[in-house]
Amino acid sequence: MSTHLTTVAGVAVDTRHFIGGERIASTETFTDVSPIDGSVLAEISRGTAMEAAAAVAAAKAAFPAWAATPRAERARLLHAIADGVERRLEELALVETTDNGALLRSHRRGVMPRVAHNFRFFANWLLELDHEDFTTRGHTNHVTWDPAGPCVLITPWNAPLMLATWKVAPALAAGDTVVLKPAEWSPLTASLLADIAAEAGLPAGVLNVVQGYGSEVGDPLTAHPDVRRISFTGSVPTARHIAASAAANLTPLSLELGGKSPLLVFADADLDLAAGLAVEQYDNAGQVCLAATRILVEAPVAEEFTRRFTEKAAALRQGDPREESTDIGPTIHPRQLEKIDGFVRRALEAGARAVIGGHRGEGQYYVPTLLTDVRQDSEIVQEEVFGPVLTLQTFEDEDEAVRLANDTRFGLAATVATGDAERAARVTARLVAGTVWVNCFFVRDLKAPFGGSRHSGVGREGGTWSFDFYCDVKNTVTAPKGFKDHG
């Protein structure tokens, strides 16, 4: 077996970059470790400015032919990639779980099928993308979506392949070429995606994968003058750095950043439903940007809500994510575990009370935690923890609920639990959030716009919004006369 192949959960994964249709090794590597047991999975090629330049050059060279490829052919190739994902769904699920610690059952049943759906959805949307012509003083306006050029896509570690393909699929459908940089804590399924795309017949250079650290390979990618779009999902500090890097070239950005989303529980809500929604926020060990980590409960029902919540939380099983019965897996990395623990320790020292949890488990696990007696201006309420840590506060009326919900620098999502449809309409209209769920959570459709307000991001993606970003939207205005008759 090649020294550049590693076997993860019985699946062979190439540890090299994928540039211009070829596997390219770097002189140095970085170590990829499983969060499940701390075992070393692979030594991954560690990209530098040289690999960044090569990847952008390959994407630039491939762009004219790919941009000129008819929509139907681009759509066919995206469906072929989806077919490849479905054929290798079990392998992808096993590798992803081993690499990032999320539940195997979720990868099998939801996440990897969604990866395939990302490609199919944008392939189909491409074929339907249209804007009706309209007239201005007899002149015809015709709107088109023209491919923009090479794109740099930088993706996170909490749902690596699903969130990568949420960007890759619309960019390819739009006629752009792509340089994908996966997170260094979970790079393996991006490498498998490169194989799948090549097997599907995607032309060389249309999809490139470069691995490594942001400071070493991400910076030269985002600062490259030939890059026409940058899409990033991750933290606010990193987004600021990327935006500054892109500013010199005025490269358009799409940023999906953190959240500190509220769950508002009104006294007229179905409390069992509301408690279930709250416990659902522990999904993926709390490593979900959309998670409603701030639970706001109307005071008269706070005690009963807490009782129901703790009962449901007690039924959760934390352990090996490869086991069917596990509900909560490990934290992705020792550094992230230390960050989570630091947030909770400081909150407890400041007077917070742990209703449940409040401490580490064994290994790389953090026990699901609910903190109460927290101040609105405290760090634990204002800053994103990105772990299985929730806070509970009470409110007296609708105005206070909205004020508390909106009182952070974020605005990614919000959830409302109420039995009053009129109240739901009033409250949702006042909430600052890109997505609001009422009596439900995490119901998402690719046709809907997705993104955040305030420090939770810039721009919207999904449906036509994705094509608006990944394309140069053009309007052609034609006079009613002036053409010569060649008949």
User: Is 486 a domain residue?
Assistant: no
Q: CB within 8 A of 140, min separation 6: which ones?
A: 133, 134, 477, 478, 480
Say whether both 249 and 119 belong to one domain.
Answer: yes
Q: What pLDDT score does 484 carry?
A: 84
For each of the chain's 487 residues, which pLDDT tens digit applies? 468 999 999 999 999 999 999 999 999 999 999 999 999 999 999 999 999 999 999 999 999 999 999 999 999 999 999 999 999 999 999 999 999 999 999 999 999 999 999 999 999 999 999 999 999 999 999 999 999 999 999 999 999 999 999 999 999 999 999 999 999 999 999 999 999 999 999 999 999 999 999 999 999 999 999 999 999 999 999 999 999 999 999 999 999 999 999 999 999 999 999 999 999 999 999 999 999 999 999 999 999 999 999 999 999 999 999 999 999 999 999 999 999 999 999 999 999 999 999 999 999 999 999 999 999 999 999 999 999 999 999 999 999 999 999 999 999 999 999 999 999 999 999 999 999 999 999 999 999 999 999 999 999 999 999 999 999 999 999 999 888 877 6
270: containing domain? 262-438
346 and 227 in a common domain? no
Output the CA torsion 344→349→355→361 (10° steps). 40
Q: Are 88 and 192 found together in one domain?
A: yes
| HEC letters along the chain | CCCCEEEECCEEEECCEEECCEEECCCCEEEEECCCCCCEEEEEECCCHHHHHHHHHHHHHHHHHHHHCCHHHHHHHHHHHHHHHHHCHHHHHHHHHHHHCCCHHHHHHHHHHHHHHHHHHHHHHHHHCCCCCEEECCEEEEEEEEECCEEEEECCCCCHHHHHHHHHHHHHHCCCEEEEECCCCCCHHHHHHHHHHHHHCCCCCCEEECCCCHHHHHHHHHCCCCCCEEEEECCHHHHHHHHHHHHCCCCCEEEECCCCCEEEECCCCCHHHHHHHHHHHHHHHHCCCCCCCEEEEEHHHHHHHHHHHHHHHHCCCECCCCCCCCCECCCCCHHHHHHHHHHHHHHHHCCCEEEECCCECCCCCECCEEEECCCCCCHHHHCCCCCCEEEEEEECCHHHHHHHHHCCCCCCEEEEECCCHHHHHHHHHHCCCCEEEECCCCCCCCCCCECCCHHHEECCECHHHHHHHHEEEEEEEECCCCCCCCC
- The CATH number of the domain holding residue 101 is 3.40.605.10
Query: String of b and e for 442-464 (b: at least 16 CB within 10 Å)?
Result: beeebeeebbbbbbbbbbbbbbb
283 and 398, same domain (yes or no): yes
Residues 299, 209 share a domain: no
Annotation marks residue 256 as catalytic: yes
399 burial (CB, 10 Å; 0-12 / 13-18 / 19+) is exposed
Contact 33, 337 (CB under 8 A): no
Q: Is 96 a catalytic residue?
A: no
pLDDT for 81 equals 98
pTM of the predicted model as reported, rounded to 2 decimal places = 0.95
412 with 432, same domain? yes
Q: Are residues 146 and 284 part of one domain? A: no
Is position 487 within any domain? no
386: CATH: 3.40.309.10
Tell me the C-alpha distance between 456 and 450, whole Å: 11
Pick the catalytic residue from 256, 298, 384, 461: 256
Tell whether 222 and 362 lie within a shared domain.
no
Residue of 248, 290, 230 whose CA lies nearest to 458: 230
Position 487 scores a pLDDT of 61
Q: Do 157 and 296 belong to one domain?
A: no
Q: How large is the angle between the packed helices 71-87 and 89-100, nearest 10 degrees?
A: 70
Q: How many structural domains compose the chain? A: 2
- For residue 236, being part of any structural domain is answered with yes
| Candidate list 91, 184, 289, 298, residue with the active-site label | 289
Together in a domain, 144 and 287: no
C-alpha 309 chain-centroid distance: 27
391: which strand partners?
Answer: 294, 371
Residue 213 lies in a domain: yes
With contact defined as beta carbons under 8 Å apart, do 230 and 149 qualify? no
Within a domain: 64:
yes
In a domain, 383, yes or no: yes
Residue 240 and residue 301 in one domain: no
- Structure confidence at residue 485 (pLDDT): 77
Both 29 and 116 in one domain: the answer is yes
Rounded CA-CA distance 102/329 in Å is 6
Q: Flag whether 481 is in a domain.
A: no
Residue 152 lies in a domain: yes
